[in-house]
Amino acid sequence: MQAFLDIFDIYLLEAVINGILLGGVLALLALGLNLIFGVIDVTWICYAELVMIGMYAMYFMVQYYGISYFIAAPFTILLVAILGALLHYLVIAPLLTAPPINQLLATGGVLFVLQSFATVAFGIDFRNLGIRLPVLAFGDMNFSYARLLSFLAALVGMVAVYLFMTRTFTGTAIRAISQDRQIMALMGVDTKRIYLITSAIGGGLAGLAACLLVLQYDVHPFVGLSFGPITFLICVLGGLGNFIGGFIAAFVFAEIISLGGLFSDLEWGYVLAFAFFIVMMFIRPAGLLARRR
Amino acid sequence: MLELRSVSAGYGTFQALFDVHLEVKAGEAVGVIGPNGAGKTTLMRVISGLIRPSRGSIAMEGVDVLATPPHKIVSLGIAHVPENRRLFPQLSVDDNLKMGAFMKEARGHYAERLEVVFDLFPRLKERRYQMAGTMSGGEQQMCAIGRALMSKPKLLLLDEPSAGLAPVVVQQVFELVKRIRASGLTVLIVEQNVQQVLKVVDRAYLIEAGTIRASGSSAEMLASDTVKEAYLGV
């Protein structure tokens, strides 16, 4: 009996730590989506599809052209940042004053366009980088280097965004804009430019997430479905547009998935997480940390 | 310094200003008085570019304001303290002031301007890390004026700085306006508090239903029967 408990505790600890590691990347995705929603007041339904394109970019650069992972990563981040800016310029900007449902449908359309584009251009094969990172054994616990690296890189990415948002004039304007859009011109702020910069940052975060996820998951045209919906649930659970709420909710979700997976299959972890979300929507419909107005 | 010629403006089909002529010379403090809904706020918004007039011209030191994109007008030296202050309530006082120095020309002088503003409003320095929305009305007004001063303007537009403040605080705000004037800044101030504002300005315009009804020095305005009857309650 004692022996059973010892093993159980080790597995539990391993699951908790793996949950934290998973939470890092989810928090990164949630930050990107929250940033767009909080600043521009639109929801990029196609956010995870930007990640998918980024994963393909990594795949082709690393696997096809033989570029080293660490050189390919900044290019991918830049590419998806440009995609984010283009998405804003071509799709969102003309619809800024349109009803939210129209914006939602338009970005939903982009989702299908990107999925179909990937299917036509790259086929439906599952592809991976072919990089096998070692597994780190710590006592009886096993952690994959890929997850550890992803967690640290996601943390660095979030800290970088935090510093940008708090230390620079442009970052301060990004935080200010949703509080009073009309008077931004009095501050000498061109709101169109701020929206474009914000979209590029949101895209860049998706690009970073792509570089990290491609280490752990195969790429295929529908890979966005694996983490798109969960990113939305995290943002809603944390309170849409609330950065800190999204951060906390990402780890709450990741722990439920990871611990749920420990007691049963990984799929049941997701079921538990979604069930938890539904219950929470009854208890706190505006999110864990509802935006106070 | 600032010159408005035959300016008409409105919102949609509603016209708020009719053929307004107005001039502010360098170093002057000029008041615009009049009842609620007379077009005073519209006048300020037209100058700072928040709305575009349907007709007329506006020049700041010879530069055509209407040919300047709205977010570049502050670079011409016009800083607007809007009605109801319009601070960013969930940003700290520091961040609000930072927004005032957003334009490229002002960023280089950020530290220096911050000192000027903190000298003028020591209270803001005490509260610099506090959320602007949690301060008292008077402190918020200081913050709004401070934010405008961060851009090192030549012309300060003040829209109803005394609105919604307790009488003691109103006194303080007008004292501040005097001090800002003394520092050599040109001021255009819109007020309903006619008695108070005429003590601080050199000249004033009386605006009613979107039209300039009278203008003259503070003394002339105080003596004018129209002003006396309608606004001073004499």
Note whether B208 and B168 are same-domain residues. Answer: yes
Map chain B to HEC letters. CEEEEEEEEEECCEEEEEEEEEEECCCCEEEEECCCCCCHHHHHHHHHCCCCCCEEEEEECCEEHHHCCHHHHHHHCEEEECCCCCCCCCCEHHHHHHHHCCCHHHHCCHHHHHHHHHHHCHHHHHCCCCEHHHCCHHHHHHHHHHHHHCCCCCEEEEECCCCCCCHHHHHHHHHHHHHHHHCCCEEEEEECCHHHHHHHCCEEEEEECCEEEEEEEHHHHHHCHHHHHHHHCC
From B107, B127, B152, the end of a domain falls on B152
Of the pLDDT bands very low, low, confident and very high (cuts 50, 70, 90), residue A2 is: low
**How far is the C-alpha of B97 from the C-alpha of B100, rounded, in Å?**
5
Cα B178 to Cα B196: distance, rounded to the nearest angstrom:
11
Please give the structure tokens belonging to residue B39: 């077009």
> Within this chain, do residues B108 and B183 fall inside the same structural domain, yes or no?
no
* Judgement on whether residues B141 and B176 belong to the same structural domain of the protein: no
Q: What is the per-residue pLDDT across A59-100, written as a single tens digit (0 to 9) for each?
A: 999 999 999 999 999 999 999 999 999 999 999 999 999 998
Domain, as residue range, for B29: 1-77+154-234
Q: How wide is the angle at C-alpha A272 spanned by C-alphas A266 and A273, nearest 5°?
A: 95
Which residues on neighbouring strands pair with residue B27, listed in sequence order?
Answer: none
**Token pair for residue A53?**
């394109």
Which tens digits make up the pLDDT trace of B1-22?
999 999 999 998 899 999 999 9
Q: Residue A121: CA atoms inside 13 Å, Cβ hemisphere, count?
A: 11
Residues B69 and B165 in one domain: yes
Which one of B70, B99, B151 has the shortest CB-CB distance to A172?
B99
Whole-number percent of chain A with pLDDT over 70: 96
Phi, then psi, of B2 in degrees rounded to 5: -115, 135
Domain boundary among B152, B177, B208: B152
Does residue B233 surpass a pLDDT of 70? Answer: no
> For residue A29, which of A195, A252, A227, A286 has the smallest C-alpha distance?
A227
Give the pLDDT band of residue A58 (cuts 50, 70, 90).
very high
Are B162 and B233 in a shared domain?
Answer: yes
**CA distance linking residue A236 with residue A229, whole number of Å:** 11
**How far apart are the C-alpha atoms of A100 and B106, rounded to whole Å?**
36
Domain shared by B35 and B68, yes or no: yes
Q: Which amino acid is at B176?
A: L
Question: Cβ–Cβ of A189/B89 closer than 8 Å?
Answer: no
Tell whether the model's pLDDT for residue B176 goes beyond 80.
yes
Q: Which residues of B touch A182 (CB under 8 A)?
A: 50
- ∠ CA A244-A247-A253, rounded to 5°: 135
Examine the domain organization and report whether B109 and B18 are in the same domain.
no
Kindly indicate the confidence band of residue B172, based on its pLDDT and cuts at 50, 70 and 90: confident
Percent above pLDDT 70 for chain B: 99
User: What's the pTM value of the predicted model, to 2 decimals?
Assistant: 0.90
Searching chain A, which residue's CA lies closest to the CA of residue B47? A186
- H or E segment and range at residue B6: strand B2-11
Residue of chain A minimizing CA distance to B100: A187
How far is Cα B198 from Cα B81, in angstroms, rounded to an integer? 19
Q: Do A183 and B69 touch (CB under 8 A)?
A: no
User: Do B12 and B2 share a structural domain?
Assistant: yes
Return the higher-pLDDT residue of A157 and A14: A157
pLDDT for res A7: 60
Q: Is the pLDDT of residue B231 over 80?
A: no
pLDDT tens per residue across span A168-210: 999 999 999 989 999 999 999 999 999 999 999 999 999 999 9
pLDDT of residue A111: 96
A190 touches chain B (CB under 8 A): yes
The pLDDT score that the predictor gives to residue B211 is 93
B139 lies in the same domain as B25: no
DSSP state of A133: P
Give the pair of three-digit tokens for residue B127.
């509260």
CA–CA distance, B81 with B145 (Å, rounded to integer): 6
Per-residue b or e along B67-102, where b marks 16 or more CB atoms closer than 10 Å to that residue's CB: ebebbebbbbbbbbbbbebbbbbbbbbbbbbbbbbb
- Identify the band that residue A293 occupies on the pLDDT scale cut at 50, 70 and 90: very low
Strand partners, B9: B17
Closest CA to B128 of B137, B138, B117: B117
Q: Please determine, for residue A44, whether its predicted confidence score (pLDDT) is greater than 80.
A: yes
For A179, other C-beta atoms within 10 Å of its C-beta total 16
B117 and B212 co-located in one domain: no
- Measured in angstroms, the CA of A200 and the nearest CA of chain B are apart by 20
Given this model, what pLDDT does residue A5 score? 57
Give the integer Cα–Cα distance in Å for A211 and A54.
Answer: 7
The 10s digit of each residue's pLDDT in A233-292 is 999 999 888 889 999 999 999 999 888 888 777 778 888 888 999 998 888 888 877 654
Q: State whether A189 and B71 contact (CB < 8 Å).
A: yes
Tally the domains of chain B: 2
> Are B185 and B114 part of one and the same domain?
no
Q: A188 contacts in B (CB within 8 Å)?
A: 71-72, 74-75, 102-103, 106, 151
Which CATH number covers residue B160? 3.40.50.300
Structure tokens at A161: 């965004």
- Could you give the dihedral angle defined by the CA atoms of residues A113, A117, A118 and A121, in that order, rounded to the nearest 10 degrees? 180
Same domain, B88 and B71: no
Interchain CB distance below 8 Å, B88 and A176: yes
Question: Could you tell me the domains of chain A?
Answer: 2-283 (1.10.3470)
Of B122, B152, B182, the last residue of a domain is B152
pLDDT, tens only, B47-89 = 999 999 999 999 999 999 999 999 999 999 999 999 999 999 9
